[in-house]
Amino acid sequence: MEDYILLAVGAILVNNILLIQYLGNCPFLGTSKSMDNATGMAMAVVFVLALAGIVTWIFEAVFLKPLGLEYIRTIVFIVVIAALVQFVEIFMKKSMPALYAGLGIFLPLITTNCAVMGVCLINIKEEYNFLEMLVSSLAYPAGFGLALILFAGLRERIIIGRVPGPLQDVAIALVTAGFMSLSFLGFKGMI
């Protein structure tokens, strides 16, 4: 039990996927201009990653490893993730229109979100068993959401402030992300 808690804390804070592992930075900068978008993106990532983690792990365990096909993992995973995202979109549109209205525009973007693919690959690389994989597939996107929502809060304030010309928009956002990352680095001593 303790191992799983450590794994979860590690994935959320110590190895935060956005600020320490540098995965998923495009949506991080793209959707953090408003709090609504950031929340939508964070929820979509949590939802898809939990599913994608499970499905890709099963694919690896059932097909790729026994058949010795690990070298085409990249193709298989990206196709699985793309298909999954499409399926989730269709399913949500039909049966959960309210949720679809909130997450709809973020879903197609998730296919090319390196956080999703990245966590699926980390799960395989670290040779997690099923439970560990489940914890990591939930904790990493939780960390993603935490960082994204905190960052969106900061960015909403920065827009009001007076920023020097050349630093405007993305440049100041990156510098801000740097200092957030510095504070997350402080969690390193926890584990």
Partner 1 sequence: MAKTIVQEFTKGLWEEIPPFRLVLGLCPVLAVTKTVANGVGMGVAATFVLVCSNVLVSMLRNIIPSQVRVPCFIIIIATFVVVVELVMQAFTYPLFLQLGIFIPLIVVNCVILGRAEAFASKNPPVASIADGLGIGVGFTIALGALAGIREAFGAGTISVPFSDTVIQLFGPSFQPFTFMVEAPGAFVCLGLMLAVMNLAGK
Choose which of 10, 24, 141, 143 interacts with partner 1 (CB under 8 A).
Answer: 24
The distance of closest approach from Cβ of residue 183 to partner 1 in the complex, given in angstroms and rounded to an integer, is 9
Choose which of 96, 175, 190, 191 interacts with partner 1 (CB under 8 A).
Answer: 175
Assess 72 for contact with partner 1 (CB under 8 A). Answer: yes
Q: Report how far apart, in Å, the C-alpha atoms of 187 and of each of 11, 82, 183, 191 are.
A: 11, 34, 8, 8
Assess 136 for contact with partner 1 (CB under 8 A). Answer: no
The distance of closest approach from Cβ of residue 174 to partner 1 in the complex, given in angstroms and rounded to an integer, is 3
Looking up tokens 């994989």 gives 133
Q: Measured from the CB atom, is 62 or 174 closer to partner 1?
A: 174
Choose which of 6, 8, 9, 29 interacts with partner 1 (CB under 8 A).
Answer: 29
Count how many Cα atoms sit within 13 Å of the Cα of residue 36 in the half-sphere of its side chain. 5
In terms of Cα–Cα distance, which of 118, 92, 121, 124 is closest to 105? 92
Assess 34 for contact with partner 1 (CB under 8 A). Answer: no
Q: How far apart are CA 11 and CA 174, in angstroms?
A: 22
Q: Measured from the CB atom, is 153 or 178 closer to partner 1?
A: 178
Task: Give the CA radius of gyration of the chain.
Answer: 17
- DSSP state, residue 190: G
Assess 25 for contact with partner 1 (CB under 8 A). Answer: yes
Assess 125 for contact with partner 1 (CB under 8 A). Answer: yes
Assess 162 for contact with partner 1 (CB under 8 A). Answer: no
Q: Measured from the CB atom, is 46 or 114 closer to partner 1?
A: 114
- Beta-carbon contacts of residue 42 (< 8 Å; ≥ 6 apart): 141, 144, 145, 148, 149
